[in-house]
Amino acid sequence: MICKQQVHQDGKHCHTCAYSKGLCAMCGKQVLDTKMYKQSNV
């Protein structure tokens, strides 16, 4: 886990962290390349 938030599924990451890192919330595999995205940490 990245942020210690409660996960709603039996996965490795919460939805917010998975999306921001481009990972699958369930298995943790990279599914999206986010290096060209402009994301805020708010």
| Residue 40 located in a structural domain | no
Query: Which of these, 34, 22, 24, lies nearest to 12 by C-alpha position?
Result: 24
Per-residue model confidence (pLDDT) at position 42:
52
Residue-wise pLDDT for 5-34, tens only, equals: 877 777 778 888 888 888 888 888 998 888
Quote the domain boundaries for residue 20: 1-31
In a domain, 41, yes or no: no
Q: How many separate domains does the chain show? A: 1
Distances 19 to 3, 16, 25, 38 between C-alpha atoms, Å: 13, 5, 8, 13
6 part of a folded domain: yes
Residue 8's pLDDT is: 73
pTM, two decimals, is: 0.60
The whole-number average pLDDT for the span 34-40 is: 78
Q: Is residue 39 part of a domain?
A: no
